[in-house]
Amino acid sequence: MEFTKKEKRGLALFDLLLHGRASAEERTEYINLHATYEEKRMGKLLSEMSAEDFEEYKALEENLKRADRDGGYCPLCRNKGYTAQVEEGRMRFVTCECEKRRENMALVTESDYAHLVTTKRFDNFEVDKPWRKETLRRVKAWTNQRALPVLYLGGKSGTGKTHLAIAAFYQLVLCGNRGKLISWRDESRDLKFRMTEYGYYDKKIRELKTIPLLMIDDFLWQPTNGNSLPTDEDLRLAKEILDGRINMGLKTIITSNYSIGELNKIEVVLGGRIYQSSGGSENYCVSFGATCENYRAKKIPSLVDLAEQESPFDELKGGAAHV
């Protein structure tokens, strides 16, 4: 590596400063012409820094580096995914918040629903009928509250249940929740087939029970579509996953062709738990289909109204979260 004349002079001055042999003029010359950005920022010369100062210097140098990672521009870490911090005199690397967001997003883009996430949004849900408008309002309100962990969208297919479920899911991911979208049809078949594979089954069930946000599409789906009932095995699996999630208050979005009334008839304990943890039909247990058409806007104040008033995500609504 060939140094320029200026660089050579800078190095010579640095060497003199480091060994305490620089004159006042030489020190001034170094400050004016050769000091690094970090030295200027810290208001101290590298050659005169204590060990602790030097850790600060290294952290500053790290934090000034940029990286070309995708997932938006983060001014905090300049898109590196980490920042350097000095704690008790030692520099450490700390994972940046944006890296968690990047991981959350990766979970979504790797799912089978990735292509739907950007197209099924709150803003393009058709509100041509009063019940659709009211349903949209309720689903949005669910994303703004914490008291009731379950959103149950039950009823006929082709009514926009999955659309709203995905929109709600994505809204929560944008607010920092780590989440997974699954199709009951595929996931339950997979789990039932590989039930005896201890390492596989156990790991998968644990993930479904503990991930902070889970969307289950077509819950308890049956091949004959309404003409046959879920098997005992299906119900056992459903209870295992939902019991764990509800006990821990983890956000769960469910779409199903069964209305909550039908589900209650099939399995009263499971139906009851879902009804209770979604706040019932006044709140986030939403019915689609036949009963939707004669939906009457009820005047009883519900948690839906409260959630609309006090949104912890208000500040996010104007930005990227408003999709």
Q: Which spans of this chain sit near Zn ion (rule: CB under 5 A)?
A: 74, 76-77, 96, 98
Give me the least distance between CB of 156 and Zn ion, in Å please.
44
Q: How far is the CB of 99 from Zn ion (least distance, A)?
A: 6
* DSSP alpha helix (H) spans, 79-197: 97-109, 114-117, 130-143, 161-174, 184-193
Compute the distance between CA of residue 73 and CA of residue 67 in angstroms, rounded to an integer. 10
Q: Which is nearer to Zn ion, 18 or 94 (CB)?
A: 94
Q: What angle do CA 11, 14, 17 make, to 5 degrees?
A: 155
Shortest reach from residue 320's CB to Zn ion, in Å: 15
Q: 97-109 vs 161-174: helix axis angle to the nearest 10?
A: 160
Rank residues 98 and 250 by Cβ distance to Zn ion and give the closer one.
Answer: 98
Residue closer to Zn ion, measured from CB, 66 or 203: 66
In the complex with Zn ion, which residue's Cβ is closer, 20 or 319? 319
Please report how close the Cβ of residue 100 comes to Zn ion at its closest, in angstroms: 9
74 vs 241, beta carbon nearer Zn ion: 74
Query: What is the C-alpha separation between 164 and 154, in angstroms, rounded?
Result: 12
Q: Coil, strand, or helix at residue 21?
A: coil
Helix axes 184-193, 232-247, angle to 10 degrees: 110
Q: Which residues of 237-273 are buried (b: 16+ CB within 10 A; e: fewer)?
A: bbeebbeebbeeebbbbbbbbbbbebbbeebeebbeb
Q: How far is the CB of 78 from Zn ion (least distance, A)?
A: 8
- The alpha carbon of residue 217 and the mean position of all alpha carbons in its chain are separated, in whole angstroms, by 18
List the Cα angle 175/177/178 in 5-degree steps: 145
Smallest distance, Zn ion to C-beta of residue 211, A: 23
Q: Let me know the angle formed at the C-alpha of 142 by 139 and 143, rounded to the nearest 5 degrees.
A: 95
How far is the C-alpha of 243 from the C-alpha of 255, rounded, in Å? 17
Report in angstroms the alpha-carbon separations of 166 from 13, 26, 57, 68, 119.
Answer: 63, 66, 46, 30, 9
Least distance CB 84 / Zn ion (angstroms): 12
- Tell me whether residue 10 or residue 81 sits nearer to Zn ion (CB atom): 81
Minimum gap (Å) between residue 143 Cβ and Zn ion: 24
